[in-house]
Structure 1
């Protein structure tokens, strides 16, 4: 088989497989006690949210990635979900417990079993109530990583066709996956050693399990040489008796499971707590679906949560699992009656004594040194990697290092921390660090960093609320959203089916916009338009000394705008016209309206946010030049290119240089301490301005004006720019200077100053995907 791969496939196609990760975790208080609050309602119906749900308890969150075909995509999406959960539960001052074994937990009768809606929900609840009686609640709170794997279709079909077998493709796939499963069971002890990360227990866990470990104080019990209490004989979550299904064929497997059910060993197929499971197409009818459609993928349940990684599993471990699955397919097999019993003995031995240097395991009925056997297996993996040129040296060397230096394993490292700080404090420290990390980067959605920020806001909200997100085109920022059988396509966050086609066409023409506003009794600045620089040269003389604004007719983001709030010379006005003509073949000159500019954001029939956009500026310290102050201000984490960050970095272009010159300044001037120097006349965020939230302070009169303007165009999504002298006084002078059909929402979502606004929700509400 390896020769087929070598001769018929590229290394990239060999490693292309279907990956998915399910990550369980407990919500805890800042003191490390189990949070007894309900599952956060923002995540919606537990049975319908495809990304964030619960497991056994209301307190136990489960994150589920879709299937991806690269490790990087899988990990990035898992990180996005992890950040979402950390952020949402943090609102209630809760933390995401990073450890597989439970935190400080109460008695069973206080552990909140997950509740669900509808008839399906009643069945899910009843099943969990039976588990509580049978296994106890404390074991049910154990969390871990479920690693879902399927070989790529090209991979499987190539082998099937090249082998020329007479069996059907379905039977061939079943045979492939069954072999991988059997070999995984044989070698699962190695994964427990390499990725085990549960060396101890908190003293609120089951008493009989605590007695199997040593009391090291700080409410903590540790296993001297153990790697994974979660996979051990006492502490772990296992069936009441050891069960050994027949994995010879799908037919034999189904027969053996039915026998377990008939004997009362388990109530149904999903109660078989195996280290690896065969997964069907229809989850509701596991055995029938396996018989009819065959094995769809394998679910590996061996891996502990890695407390040293925010996501619970390191990317390098996912890389290794990929090539390890390939090794399991290519590795030969030796059958004997008790091979499964032998594999279980090795599992428990490594879980409870894996860090002991002289540990021996059973290898085909013969005792062998664990470290030597591990080296041998990893050498075989390395040979596969080298022969097929898979370039996975890094992850293989990392695993070899963990074998040669046990002190580098997760279990050993965590054991040292728990000895020093105790189970609660060691893991709480990790949880708090991950919260701090997520909070600092909360505006950036992992895996979608190259999408514009407004679209990231929408995607994040959709994922949070369980609305399925299908990226369509990253370069054009188009996504498809799905919920309850309904589909909505959205471009750049606010271009949706809610608005008609003519609305943006009208708004992008500033002359037409002014006429429509005037027709609706709304004040706009007087002015005129020029169609050539020659025309501007002839007519601008009458505006010399007047307070005016010169801007392109049809651009957004403040491009090409020059403001002369103190009047301008003919030379300055002509320079403003030249700059405007660089962005459009028609320009406007308008009266300057005194006051401050505010952006009103409307969605549906409400103003959802108001923002004052302070022009690009710096505040002097009495020492630094304007250029140095700009460089320092540009280091703010919110500032970037303006599409993948909430704020734009300040640039001293021609317009800014001219604006400074009018103030008698240059980029080398040193402002006095505390003096604010404006760098531009226009206040757009896209030209380096500061965003200051005014939603709650703005007088409702002006919000009604903004709504009236949006309604004049039939716009469901609209940004209305209004100049106001006094935002608190409804009698204040004001004027509408611009409407935007695709308003930037990120500046409202993550303002430079003031309250952040949850605008992803408002978008989903406007297009009817949430109430």
Structure 2
């Protein structure tokens, strides 16, 4: 009894603030994970009868995308995140990925909790899994519950306190006991305030007054809900077992209750420890692409911390029947109680680190103006109104408009984002262990791989990039393998340049640092170069390397061949950044206009890189008797650089199917010269392309960008990131 009193004292407001107050005001102090269920529907708003998209991986083992009860009921699952904002960003990423995969099938995600138009019940298929037990469980649910109830979709929010926060508030007491008591107190208080949460978040109206059919007596719940005992873990497990023994539920997974305790192990056997609370009462908000707003997630977080911090006797006076509110909305008296609770939540918010402002203000607006509530707005339109199909289309179009973007990860290089996207689709668990260096840890089953900047992997040796980075060594290795490269010489800035450069004066030439990447420090002279121009190019290259390469200029178009595991997977040609005159604007103004294109941004976070005015560009314009202040005649296309690297503002165009097989084999031999598994080979080939055309391999790249193949400015997209995952053995071919 004394121990019980001691634990209870650890969980009163004053004790928690004294021992854990600093963590309350910082982050992270909790973990939030979201499960979102949504029905796939056709373009006309009918439930899809098609199978789960194969492009989203296997349902059985994908930790992010699976199906719920029905084959057409997609379930999106975020990992535990350290804040409502982070959880919402991850959910938005999953939502966007699914919407993009559904678009070619002419399918959408139905935005409401209540179902879209349904075919005959006999045509609605249970989700099909490889594991027979999963299929059997779904068939039994169909026999037990109405199909319309099973198709009700919603949001589940998994909430946990961090171990460090629980350790702080335990303050020397039995940590396991404090953990259990803390979660149980929070769960009991939340049960008292369910009516408040349902009243503010309800979004599945029925009849003239109902605000949440999912939480009504006819909603998505099992008959054992009222029989669960939250006084202790032992009592809870015993009550679950009684429900199993009496046949109220067939398995613990059938605990369709508004608040469910989740354990590190199943409560029917073995040692158990609560590791989170699962909130199952949240309706889909059709006014949000993700089905829930970040502000409402913040509201729920505040509510859960309020339930932990506030005494049970204090919240008992607020207790109301949540089913009655779900079926009839707030009474005037309940509205007054809800207003007082919002005021208390405001006081709790001042004790916490609140990342998303406006959560309480938004809830207050819906409380005091019922016509602004989600349920009333839906009721006014009608649950099968064309508005919901239009919203579903808008959410799809929003996802497609920035098809490269992964919310929550958009500060990473785009090639890394491509890897994350394919990992999610393929059911590969991923973790970003360094955002600054774009390092991923990938895991599927027992296999684990680390990937840096999307293409630096365990498949290539340490020496491979060192060989490629030295242009002289690269030329030597390529020639040893019978591959043609441009003739040239190596020099240093302190050499006798007059003598060393003499063979190239009056000829077309290329000057570049021996060790370079991304086209940095390179000058290309398509027209005969003067002595002064060559000296200036040497000076520019010397800013990046003391060793400089001067080569003959090879006419033709430059192509990038992506070679993975010995095979050419994709080919692009890169078009140098350019502007088209309008007869009025200067080149500087035209560049500014080009940089406003939604595909362009600094770095490698979008398909195109910002065009930067620099010395190399000034030189290239000077060769055309132009400068940044020149006004270009309307319709005239002016190249701004000779080099076409994406990092230098160039544009990629897919040429995989246009490229003769001979040159694909040459690229494969070039990669083999370095024993490279993942390699970008740059080859200049005169046009028109033909099997007998001449060529010159310019260089091999150890860290080829995938974005130019995934998101070409023109031509077909090639799933290069997926091919890397196949080479790593994480996906099947």
TM-score range, shorter chain: over 0.9
Partner of 2:277: 298
Structure 1 residues 566 and 335: CA distance shift in structure 2, 3 A:
closer
Q: What CA deviation, in whole Å up to 9, does each residue of 1:74-124 have, x standing for no partner?
A: 11111111111111111211111111111111222111111111xxx1111
Indicate whether 1:399 and 2:363 are aligned.
yes
Question: What is the alpha-carbon distance in structure 1 between the residues aligned to residue 496 and residue 81 of structure 2?
Answer: 58
Describe how 1:426-505 pairs up with structure 2 within 5 A. 426-505=387-466
Shift of 1:673: 2.5
Are the aligned partners of 2:40 and 2:107 in contact in 1 as well (CA < 8 Å)?
A: yes
State the secondary structure of the residue aligned to 2:283: coil
The equivalent residue for 2:8 is: none
SS at match of 1:489: strand
Does the 8 A contact of 1:621 with 1:674 survive in 2?
yes
* Residue in structure 2 matched with residue 521 of structure 1 by the alignment: 482
- Specify which of 635, 650, 669 is matched with residue 630 of structure 2: 669
The answer on whether the counterparts of 1:6 and 1:388 sit within 8 Å (CA) in structure 2 is no
1:135 matched to 2:145: yes
2:9 aligns with: none
Aligned to 1:219: none
Which residue of the partner structure matches residue 107 of structure 2? 94
Which residue of the other structure, out of 256, 263, 266, is the alignment partner of 1:273?
A: 256
**Secondary structure, in 3 states, of the residue corresponding to 1:761?**
helix
Q: Determine the C-alpha separation between the residues in 1 that align with 2:68 and 2:575.
A: 47
Q: CA deviation at 1:47?
A: 2.0
* 1:252 corresponds to 2:235: yes
**1:25 matched to 2:34:** no
**Could you say what secondary structure the match of 2:156 adopts?**
strand
CA offsets per residue over residues 180-223 of structure 1, 9 Å max, x none?
111111111111111111125xxxxxxxxxxxx3xxxxxxxxxx
Deviations 1:154-203 (A, max 9, x none): 222222226x5xxx422322222111111111111111111111125xxx
Counterpart for residue 198 of structure 1: 204
Could you tell me how far apart the structure 2 residues matched to 1:396 and 1:293 are? 36
Alignment of 1:544-555 (within 5 A): 544-555=505-516
Structure 2 residue matching 1:711: 3-state secondary structure:
helix
Structure 1 residue 412: deviation in Å? 2.0
Equivalents in 1 of 2:579, 2:689: separation in Å? 27
Tell whether the 8 Å contact from 1:144 to 1:304 is kept in structure 2 after alignment: yes
Deviations 1:711-746 (A, max 9, x none): 111111111111111253011121111110111111
Q: 1:7 aligns with which of 13, 18, 39?
A: 18
**Aligned counterpart in structure 2 of residue 412 of structure 1, from 366, 376, 384:** 376
Query: Within 2, Cα distance between the matches of 1:397 and 1:25?
Result: 28
Paired position in structure 2 for 1:354: 329
Query: What corresponds to 1:218 in structure 2?
Result: none
**Pairwise mapping of residues 573-592 of structure 1 onto structure 2 (< 5 A)?**
573-592=534-553
From 525, 539, 557, the equivalent of 2:500 is 539
- Unaligned stretches of 5+ residues in structure 2: 1-11
Deviates more, 1:59-68 or 1:259-268: 259-268
Work out the CA distance in 2 between the residues paired with 1:74 and 1:558: 39
What does residue 3 of structure 2 align with?
A: none
Structure 1 spans left out of the alignment, 5+ residues: 201-212, 214-223, 361-368
Q: Distance in 2 between matches of 1:390 and 1:768?
A: 42
- 1:388 and 1:459, CA in 2 relative to 1: closer, same or farther beyond 3 A? closer
1:314-325 equivalences in 2 (<5 Å):
314-325=293-304
Tell me the distance in 2 between the aligned counterparts of 1:135 and 1:7: 49
* Alignment correspondent of 1:366: none
- Superposed displacement of residue 40, structure 1: 1.1
**Of 552-561 and 6-15, the range deviating more from structure 2:** 6-15
- Does residue 233 in structure 1 map to residue 217 in structure 2? yes
Counterpart Cα distance in 1 of 2:524 and 2:507: 11
Equivalent in 150, 155, 164 of residue 154 of structure 1: 164
Q: Which moved more, 1:506-515 or 1:617-626?
A: 617-626
Distance 1:259 1:492, change over 3 A: same
Query: Deviations 1:420-462 (Å, cap 9, x if unpaired)?
Result: xx62412111111111111111101111112111111111100
Structure 2 residue matching 1:287: 3-state secondary structure: coil
Q: Deviations over 1:469-516 (max 9, x none)?
A: 011111111111101111111111111111122211111110011111
In 2, distance between residues paired with 1:294 and 1:258?
Answer: 17
Query: Relative to 1, partners in 2 of residues 1:580 and 1:332: Cα closer, same or farther, differing over 3 Å?
Result: same
Q: Distance in 2 between matches of 1:666 and 1:569?
A: 19
SS of equivalent to 2:243? helix
The 1:108–1:582 alpha-carbon spacing in structure 2 relative to 1, beyond 3 Å, is: same
**For the residues of structure 1 that align with 2:27 and 2:501, how far apart are their CA atoms?**
68
**TM-score normalized by the length of structure 2:** 0.95
Q: What is the count of residue pairs matched by the alignment? A: 719
8 A Cα contact 2:681 2:701, kept in partner: yes
**Residue 13 of structure 1, CA deviation:** 4.2
CA distance in 2, matches of 1:408, 1:65: 29
Confirm or deny: 8 A CA contact 1:468 1:481 kept in the other structure: yes
Question: Using a 3 Å threshold, how does the CA distance of structure 1 residues 331 and 5 change in structure 2: closer, same or farther?
Answer: closer
Q: CA deviation at 1:394?
A: 2.9
- Distance in 2, matches of 1:678 and 1:391, equals 46
The answer to whether 1:687 aligns with 2:669 is no
User: Aligned with 1:399: secondary structure?
Assistant: helix
RMSD: 2.0
1:769 to 710, 730, 733: 730
Matched, 1:67 2:80: yes
SS in structure 1 at match of 2:226: coil
CA change 1:63–1:391 in 2 (3 A) is: closer
Contact 2:63 2:427 in 1 (8 A): yes
Partner of 2:312: 333
Structure 1 residue 242: Cα displacement: 5.9
Query: Is residue 706 of structure 1 aligned with residue 706 of structure 2?
Result: no
- CA shift for structure 1 position 239: 2.2
Cα contact 1:21–1:78 (8 A) shared by 2: yes
Separation in 2, partners of 1:270, 1:715: 49
SS of corresponding position for 1:480: strand
What's the offset of the Cα at 1:679? 0.8
- The CA deviation string for residues 220-264 of structure 1, in whole angstroms up to 9 with x for no partner, is xxxx23221222223x22225763212221222222222222222
Q: For 1:727 and 1:477, how far apart are their aligned partners in 2?
A: 39
Change (3 A) 1:194 1:661: same
- In 1, distance between residues paired with 2:300 and 2:267? 25
Task: Give, in whole Å, the separation in 2 of the partners of 1:639 and 1:158.
Answer: 47
- Number of the residue aligned with 2:267: 286
Q: Distance in 1 between matches of 2:492 and 2:156?
A: 65
Name the SS for the 2:237 alignment partner: helix
Relative distance call for 1:725 and 1:389 in structure 2 (3 A) is: closer
Q: Is the CA contact 1:103–1:424 (under 8 Å) kept in the aligned structure 2?
A: no
Task: Write the distance in 1 (CA, Å) between the matches of 2:254 and 2:551.
Answer: 73
**Residue 37 in 1 paired to residue 50 in 2?**
yes
Question: In 2 relative to 1, CA 736–310 (structure 1 residues): closer, same or farther, beyond 3 Å?
Answer: same
